[in-house]
Each structure stands twice: as structure tokens, then as C-alpha cells.
């Protein structure tokens, strides 16, 4: 693969990446803090009123993982400034790198959606802004340039499903910890408890692999496609482990459906396989 790309269009992509980067470490942290505050305040009211012990530990999950994704988005924003300069110079690695970095705030917004809808609906407009800060530049750079309508449509849905599946399944891992911590006794390690403590690391390993595959897949490499297949496959197994031991939880079923749909798109020759260069 060439180390340089055509200079045509690079200034536009560079500007999009730079603006997204600046917003990710200036505006997004304050919006994330407001979203987290609204969710925690809503949880303080809703948890006692619900009488449901399984959501009693939800604030621990919010405090643990909202800052993680917010912090990753800040780091991605700083990196985007450097990548934007490389895009402007026409370096071939920079565009897929930008797509991978922009996947972070996009997934952050998707991950925030569940707690916001359940505990903090007052923060819904803020959450939408957070999501758009990642999604708009993510798809703008991903779909930039000349290509057939069919290829752009395929790319849109494949990369959308990868991000949504990763975000949903990371949330499933957090929900599993929440329900596990809410139990008064962890022992004996029956099938239910074992499903949680073994399913969570499996599903999160799949999430990490899927996220890592996005920039490689955006570069149209076989390694990226294969890593996406592996990551989503692990996500499917993780959701399956959690579902088999907790059959009443529909979120795990939805996670499996998302994984199956993602794998199907990846394996269809005219969709996922077409996005990989023959020489890669």
C-alpha cells in the first residue's frame, strides 16, 4: 500500500478531524460530566422508589465507567490533532487512524444512552450532542471521497454495526457487574454467579478486539477484517455465556442478535468482504 494518498480532499478531511479533536477535549468533557451528574441524581431518586435490588449498585458502574469513556474521548481528541496534520500532508495511514480515533467518542455516546434513558432523561439533549460529536465526523471521514453508492452504503452499515455492537456489549458487561455486586452472597459459585464472573471478561475482550479492528478495517486490510470477525465472534460468545446463565435478561439476547447481524454483514461477499483490498 502506498504511503501517500492523493492530496485532493485532504484539507477538508484534515479540518473535520481537527475540529472533532478540539471538541473532544474541550466541549465533550463538560457535557459528559453533566450527563453523569444527571444520571446519578436520577438514580438517587429512582433506585429507592423502585425497590429493585439489582439496580442498587448502578451508581458504582456509572462512577467507574463514565469517566473511563470520557477520558478515552479526550485522549482520542488530542491524538486527532496530530492525525489531522498527517491527513493534510496526504499520509495514507492517517485517514483510517482518524476513523479509529473517532470511534471512541462515537461509542462513548452510544454507551451513555442506556443509563441516560433509564435514570437521567433530562440529559437526553446533552447525550445526543455527545453522540453527534463522534458520529458526524466518524462517518464524514469514513465515507469521504468517490465510491459507488452501494459501497458507501455497505461501509456505513458495517461500521455502524461494529460500533453499536461494541457499545451495547460493553454495557452488558457493566450491567452484569451491577447485578453481580447487588447480590448479598457471591458464594457458592453456582451457574449464575460463574456466568457473570467469566462472561464479563470474555465479552469485554471481544469489545476491545472489535474497537481495535475499526482503523485496520477502515484501511481495507485483511487483518482488520479478520480482527473484526474475531472480536464480534468473542462478543457473541460472551453474550451467549451471560444469556445461558441468565435467560431472563433480554439485553443479552439483543447483544447476540447484534453480533450475528454484524458477522453476517462481514461475511457477505458484496458487503463486508468487498471492503477489503485484494492485495491486503
Give me 110's grid cell.
452510544
pLDDT digits (tens, 9 = 90+) for 1-58: 444 444 455 899 999 999 999 999 999 999 999 999 999 999 999 999 888 888 888 9
The 10s digit of each residue's pLDDT in 60-88 is 999 999 999 999 999 999 999 999 999 99
Report whether the peptide linkage leading into residue 41 is cis, meaning its omega lies within 30 degrees of zero. Answer: no
> What is the per-residue pLDDT for 121?
86
pLDDT at position 207 over 50: yes
Largest CA distance in the chain: 63
Q: What is the DSSP string of 9-20?
A: THHHHHHHHHHH
d(CA 150, CA 162): 18
pLDDT in tens, 252-267: 999 999 999 999 999 9
Domain residue extents for the chain: 1-146, 149-280
What's residue 24's pLDDT?
A: 95
Residue 52 has φ and ψ, to the nearest 5°, of: -95, 110
pLDDT of residue 228: 97
pTM: 0.90
Under CATH, what is the fold of the domain 149-280? Answer: 1.20.120
Amino acid at each position: 500500500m502506498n504511503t501517500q494518498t492523493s492530496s485532493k480532499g485532504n484539507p477538508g478531511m484534515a479540518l473535520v478531524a481537527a475540529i472533532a479533536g478540539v471538541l473532544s477535549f474541550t466541549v465533550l468533557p463538560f457535557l459528559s460530566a453533566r450527563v453523569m451528574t444527571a444520571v446519578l441524581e436520577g438514580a438517587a431518586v429512582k433506585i429507592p422508589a423502585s425497590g429493585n435490588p439489582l439496580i442498587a449498585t448502578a451508581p458504582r458502574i456509572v462512577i467507574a465507567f463514565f469517566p473511563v469513556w470520557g477520558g478515552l474521548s479526550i485522549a482520542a481528541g488530542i491524538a486527532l490533532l496530530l492525525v489531522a496534520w498527517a491527513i493534510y500532508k496526504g499520509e495514507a495511514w492517517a485517514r483510517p487512524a482518524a476513523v479509529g480515533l473517532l470511534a471512541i467518542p462515537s461509542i462513548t455516546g452510544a454507551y451513555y444512552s442506556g443509563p441516560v434513558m433509564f435514570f437521567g432523561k433530562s440529559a437526553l439533549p446533552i447525550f445526543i450532542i455527545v453522540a453527534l460529536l463522534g458520529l458526524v465526523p466518524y462517518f464524514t471521514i469514513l465515507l469521504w471521497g468517490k465510491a459507488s453508492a452501494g459501497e458507501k452504503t455497505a461501509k456505513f452499515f458495517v461500521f455502524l454495526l461494529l460500533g453499536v455492537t461494541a457499545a451495547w456489549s460493553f454495557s452488558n458487561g457493566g450491567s452484569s457487574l451491577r447485578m453481580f455486586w447487588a447480590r448479598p452472597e457471591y458464594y457458592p459459585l453456582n451457574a449464575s454467579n460463574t456466568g457473570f464472573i467469566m462472561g464479563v471478561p470474555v465479552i469485554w475482550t471481544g469489545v476491545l478486539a472489535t474497537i481495535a479492528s475499526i482503523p485496520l478495517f477502515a484501511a481495507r486490510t485483511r487483518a482488520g477484517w479478520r480482527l473484526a470477525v474475531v472480536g464480534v465472534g468473542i462478543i457473541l460468545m460472551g453474550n451467549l455465556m451471560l444469556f445461558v446463565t441468565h435467560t431472563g435478561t433480554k439485553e443479552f439476547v439483543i447483544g447476540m442478535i447484534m453480533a450475528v447481524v454484524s458477522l453476517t454483514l462481514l461475511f457477505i461477499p458484496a458487503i463486508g468482504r468487498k471492503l477489503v483490498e485484494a492485495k491486503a
